[in-house]
C-alpha cells in the first residue's frame, strides 16, 4: 500500500500569515509590510510619544520584543494611545502572539473605528488564530474603503483558499489583474488555485504568462511542473522542475516533486536521489522520507525503506499508511513480530485494510506460538 504521492508548491506566498504554508518562504506577509507608524506629536501625552518613537526605531531594526516593551511603556502613560496599541499589536503578530495582538487591535479599533491599518493587522491576527471568516470580514472593510488595495485583495484571496473557496480566490486574483495586469503574485496565485481545482490547462496558461513577465522566477516553472504532473505528463514536468532548480537549487519541494515524477516513470534510483536532496535541504521532510522509502522498497532495499519509514514516523506518528508500509517492509525481511506491531498500529489509526494482514499473518503466528 503506497502513501498517496503528494505534489507541493514550494513557494506559495504567505502573504497574510507570519507562519508558513509549505516549506521556506522568501516573501514577507503583505498585510504586515506597512511600517509601524506614530501619531503627530501633539496627539501624545507626556512621554508616550517618545517611547513610541523609540519602539518604532527598534521595530524597523527587527527588534520586535524590544519594541513591544517600549510600546507597553507608552501605553502605561496613555492607555488609549491608538498608535501604540496598533503598533504593539502589529509587532505581536510578527512574533506569533496572535492572541495578544487581537486584544490590542480590538481596543485600537474601538478607539478609532475608521483606522484601516488596524483592520489589516487584526486580519493577520485572526488568520493566525484560524478565524478565517473573521479575517475576511476585516479585509472586506479595508477593500470597501479602498477598492484598489491590491495587497488586501491578494491576502483575502489567500484566506479564501484556506477555507477551500478556490473560486473566490480566483475572483480576487483576477480583480487584482484587472487593476494591475503585470502583478506576478496574482498571476502565480491564480495559477495555484486553478491547479487546486484540477483545471490544469488554465493553470498552465497562467504560469506561462508569468514566465513571459519574469523568466527568472522559478515559481512559474514549478507551477508548470506540478500542473503537467496533474495531466500525467511526467517527462514534461521533469523538464520544468529542472529549469526551476537551475534558477533556485535550494527549494526542497521541487526536488520532492521531481522525485514523484521519477517514481511514476519507474526511475526509482533517480527518485531516491531527488528525495535525498530534498531531505538534505529539509531534514524534517516527512513525505520525502515516505516516498524515498517506497522507492527503496521497489528496488528491494527493504532495510533502507524501513529506516525511511521509521524516520517519517518519528516526525509524524499518526500516519496509518506509513505504518502499513513499514509492516510490509518488515515482512520482507521476515521480521513478523515487527510487521504485526506496525500493522496493528496502522489499524488503530483507522486503516481498515490492515485487518486482512493481521488476520493472515499475525493471528496465524499466535496460533503456532
Q: Is residue 206 packed enough to be buried (19+ CB in 10 Å), middle (13-18) or exposed (0-12)? A: buried
pLDDT at residue number 4 = 43
DSSP state of 358: I
Cβ atoms within 10 Å of 80's Cβ, excluding its own? 14
Which pLDDT tens digit goes with each residue over 174-186? 999 999 999 999 9
Q: CA nearest 94: which of 72, 134, 61?
A: 61
Q: How far is CA 190 from CA 95, 159, 209, 218, in A?
A: 29, 13, 11, 16
pLDDT at residue number 367 = 52
Across all residues in the chain, what is the average pLDDT? 88
Per DSSP, the residues of 267-336 read -HHHHHHHHHHHHHH-TT-HHHHHHHHHHHHHTT-HHHHHHHHHHHHHH-TT-HHHHHHHHHHHHHTT-H
CB contact set of 270 (below 8 Å; sequence gap of 6+): 259, 262
Which is higher by pLDDT, 42 or 140? 140
CB contact set of 52 (below 8 Å; sequence gap of 6+): 38, 39, 44, 70, 71, 74, 81, 83, 84, 87
Per DSSP, the residues of 36-99 read P----GGGS-TTHHHHHHHHHHHHHTT-HHHHHHHHHHHHHH-TT-HHHHHHHHHHHHHTT-HH
Sign of the C-alpha dihedral, residues 147, 153, 159, 162? Answer: positive
Which pLDDT tens digit goes with each residue over 304-336? 999 999 999 999 999 999 999 999 999 999 999
Q: Is residue 39 packed enough to be buried (19+ CB in 10 Å), middle (13-18) or exposed (0-12)? A: middle
Answer for the pair 49, 37: CB distance below 8 angstroms, yes or no.
no
Instruction: Identify the residue whose cell numbers are 488586501.
Output: 152
Which is higher by pLDDT, 272 or 59? 272
pLDDT at residue number 365 = 60
Domain 266-369 homologous superfamily, CATH: Tetratricopeptide repeat domain (1.25.40.10)
Sign of the C-alpha dihedral, residues 307, 310, 312, 314? Answer: negative
Answer for the pair 193, 161: CB distance below 8 angstroms, yes or no.
yes
Instruction: Identify the residue whose cell numbers are 489499524.
Output: 347
pLDDT at residue number 361 = 87
pLDDT at residue number 7 = 46
Query: Where are the chain's structural domains?
Result: 12-163, 266-369
Model pTM score: 0.84
Which pLDDT tens digit goes with each residue over 2-40? 454 444 444 443 333 222 112 222 222 334 434 445 555
Q: Say how far residue 360 (Cα) sits from the centre of its chain.
A: 41
The span from the CA of 156 to the CA of 176, in Å, is 11
Same topology between domain 12-163 and domain 266-369: yes
The span from the CA of 86 to the CA of 65, in Å, is 15
Rounded to whole angstroms, the maximal C-alpha distance in the chain is 88
According to the CATH classification, is domain 12-163 in 1.25.40.10? yes
Q: CA nearest 308: which of 324, 288, 328, 336?
A: 288
The span from the CA of 195 to the CA of 328, in Å, is 33
Q: Is residue 167 packed enough to be buried (19+ CB in 10 Å), middle (13-18) or exposed (0-12)? A: exposed
Q: CA nearest 138: which of 119, 116, 165?
A: 119
Which pLDDT tens digit goes with each residue over 216-265? 999 999 999 999 999 999 999 999 999 999 999 999 999 999 999 999 99
Amino acid at each position: 500500500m503506497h502513501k498517496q504521492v503528494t505534489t507541493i508548491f514550494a513557494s506559495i506566498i504567505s502573504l497574510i500569515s507570519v507562519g508558513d504554508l509549505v516549506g521556506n518562504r522568501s516573501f514577507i506577509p503583505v498585510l504586515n509590510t506597512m511600517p509601524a507608524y506614530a501619531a503627530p506629536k501633539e496627539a501624545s501625552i507626556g512621554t508616550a510619544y517618545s517611547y513610541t518613537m523609540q519602539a518604532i526605531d527598534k521595530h524597523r531594526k527587527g527588534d520586535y520584543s524590544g519594541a513591544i516593551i517600549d510600546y507597553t511603556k507608552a501605553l502605561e502613560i496613555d492607555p488609549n494611545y491608538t498608535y501604540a496599541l496598533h503598533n504593539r499589536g502589529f509587532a505581536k503578530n510578527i512574533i506569533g502572539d496572535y492572541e495578544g495582538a487581537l486584544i490590542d487591535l480590538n481596543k485600537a479599533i474601538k478607539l478609532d473605528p475608521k483606522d484601516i491599518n488596524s483592520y489589516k493587522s487584526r486580519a493577520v491576527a485572526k488568520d493566525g488564530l484560524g478565524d478565517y471568516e473573521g479575517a475576511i470580514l476585516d479585509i472586506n472593510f479595508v477593500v470597501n474603503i479602498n477598492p484598489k488595495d491590491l495587497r488586501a485583495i491578494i491576502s483575502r484571496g489567500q484566506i479564501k483558499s484556506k477555507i477551500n473557496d478556490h473560486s473566490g480566490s480566483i475572483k480576487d486574483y483576477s480583480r487584482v489583474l484587472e487593476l494591475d495586469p503585470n502583478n506576478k503574485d496574482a498571476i502565480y496565485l491564480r495559477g495555484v488555485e486553478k491547479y487546486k481545482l484540477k483545471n490544469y490547462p488554465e493553470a498552465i496558461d497562467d504560469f506561462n504568462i508569468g514566465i513571459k513577465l519574469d523568466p527568472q522566477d522559478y515559481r512559474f516553472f514549478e507551477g508548470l511542473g506540478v500542473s503537467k504532473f496533474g495531466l500525467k505528463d511526467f517527462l514534461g514536468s521533469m523538464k520544468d522542475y529542472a529549469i526551476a532548480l537551475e534558477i533556485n537549487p535550494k527549494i526542497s519541494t521541487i526536488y520532492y516533486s521531481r522525485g514523484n515524477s521519477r517514481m511514476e516513470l519507474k526511475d526509482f534510483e533517480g527518485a531516491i536521489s531527488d528525495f535525498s536532496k530534498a531531505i538534505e535541504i529539509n531534514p524534517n521532510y516527512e513525505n520525502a522520507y515516505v516516498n524515498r522509502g517506497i522507492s527503496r522498497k521497489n528496488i528491494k532495499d527493504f532495510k533502507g525503506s524501513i529506516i525511511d519509514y521509521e524516520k517519517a514516523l518519528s516526525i509524524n506518528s499518526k500516519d496509518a499508511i506509513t505504518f502499513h508500509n513499514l509492516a510490509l517492509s518488515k515482512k520482507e525481511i521476515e521480521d513478523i513480530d515487527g510487521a504485526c506491531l506496525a500493522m496493528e498500529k496502522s489499524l488503530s489509526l483507522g486503516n481498515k485494510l490492515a485487518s486482512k494482514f493481521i488476520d493472515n499473518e499475525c493471528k496465524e503466528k499466535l496460533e503456532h506460538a
